[in-house]
């Protein structure tokens, strides 16, 4: 059935993707922890780095705020606010500066009307519905042997996969913008830039892992549907 861990489809498709996703999450946590101990020569904080990246890019009207938690950093385009976690906002580590610059990269994307970001924002309502209804519809359809219901569930789940697929260029581009500005603006030294880049590269892998899990799950749904016919 859908959640049988001994199902060959689960073992062949979903489990390897889940292992990769867990490894990616470990990578970002360990990289952030490691480079949180390496402090910048200029003692620039995460909050200052975000503001400086925005200034360098000529983007105005974006606020930088502190939020609770660790690695809860994000840019909210609805309010035009960069929210940095407690472990980033006041920290002067190369990890914190990299994460803050990445979020500023998202703000720059929004200001410049970066197409993949606009597409991702546009499909969020559909994706929200798909993420809530897809698996219940697939499960009910398989139990009741209703192929049409299963197909609807698979289509809805497909919106989640599309959202995560579009997320990849958005995240990679934000990191690319951040690293270029950190380097060209000399906020970080030549020796510090690679460390920030490693943190952002590790973070990007988590999005690849999430996509891999969702794609594997959708392929499994499709295979289960065909097997029941």
Q: Which residue of the set 52, 65, 86, 103 is catalytic?
A: 103
- DSSP code at position 14: I
Q: What are phi and psi of 74, to 5 degrees?
A: -165, 160
Compute the distance between CA of residue 211 and CA of residue 56 in angstroms, rounded to an integer.
32
Strand 63-67 with 81-85, pairing? parallel
Active site residue 52: no
Asked whether 209 and 168 are in contact (CB, 8 A), the reply is: no
Where do the H-state alpha helices sit in the chain? 8-9, 15-35, 46-57, 86-89, 94-111, 115-143, 147-184, 193-228
Active site residues: 103
């Amino acid at each position: 059935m859908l959640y049988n861990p001994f199902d060959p489809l689960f073992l062949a498709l979903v489990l390897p993707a889940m292992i990769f996703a867990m490894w990616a999450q470990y990578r970002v946590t360990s990289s952030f922890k490691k480079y949180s101990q390496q402090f910048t020569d200029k003692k620039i904080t995460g909050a200052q780095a975000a503001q400086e990246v925005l200034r360098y890019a000529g983007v105005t009207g974006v606020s930088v705020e502190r939020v609770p938690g660790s690695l809860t950093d994000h840019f909210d385009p609805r309010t035009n606010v960069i929210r940095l976690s407690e472990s980033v906002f006041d920290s002067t580590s190369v990890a914190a500066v990299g994460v803050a610059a990445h979020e500023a990269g998202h703000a720059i994307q929004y200001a410049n009307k970066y197409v993949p970001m606009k597409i991702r924002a546009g499909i969020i309502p559909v994706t929200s519905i798909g993420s809530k209804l897809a698996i219940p519809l697939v499960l009910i359809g398989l139990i009741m042997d209703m192929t049409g219901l299963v197909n609807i569930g698979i289509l809805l789940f497909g919106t989640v996969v599309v959202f995560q697929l579009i997320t990849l260029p958005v995240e990679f581009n934000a990191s690319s913008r951040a690293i270029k500005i950190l380097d060209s603006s000399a906020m970080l030294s030549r020796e510090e830039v690679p460390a920030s880049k490693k943190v952002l590269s590790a973070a990007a892998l988590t999005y690849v892992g999430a996509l891999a899990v969702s794609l594997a799950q959708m392929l499994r749904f499709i295979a289960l549907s065909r097997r029941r016919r």
